[in-house]
Amino acid sequence: MRFYTVQECERWLSDRNRQKPDLVSDIHVEHVNHPAEPHRIFYMAHWIAEQLTYRRPTLLWMTEWGIWGSSENWHLYYKLRQSDGDHQLLQESPGHLFLEHEAEDLASFLQIAMLNGWGGYVLSEANYVNAFFSHDEYIDFFAQHLENLTVVREGWAGNRLDRE
């Protein structure tokens, strides 16, 4: 795993001729609310890390934090980050690049981010489905091709997660 600055995250996207998915016109979106029970966030984060990455490098880019103040578990986040040998602050390097074999790490960081009420992007190098998770407790899944969102619809409907 590597930690990226905002500029490095932007370069990662531009090197792949991409932009943040919510800035792309004519893109398909599937909106999913976070589950009502916090323990189900574990399942949601693991599902995303396993189903949407296609075992390709994936950038987890935090763009929202500090909104809920004292309810955020900064200690846990930084201990997890330090376990990978990094001592930077989130605002210094909000990007987390996970290699194809690091799906469990991606799931753990995503779970902590969602439980902390943070927001950001899950951007897979495969680029079949990407996501924006919000501090407002929802995830928007984006795909250039509508059929790529089938896995999202089937995954959430089959597990009775909350949806609007």
pLDDT in tens, 88-143: 999 999 999 999 999 999 999 999 999 999 999 999 999 999 999 999 999 999 99
Give domain status of residue 65, yes or no.
yes
149: domain range?
Answer: 2-157
Rounded to an integer, what distance in angstroms lies between the CA atom of residue 155 and that of residue 74? 30
Give domain status of residue 66, yes or no.
yes
Give domain status of residue 33, yes or no.
yes
Give domain status of residue 88, yes or no.
yes
Phi first, then psi: what are they for 58, rounded to 5°? -140, 135
123 SS3 class: strand
Give domain status of residue 164, yes or no.
no
Give domain status of residue 7, yes or no.
yes
Give domain status of residue 162, yes or no.
no
Give domain status of residue 163, yes or no.
no
Domain count for the chain, please give it.
1
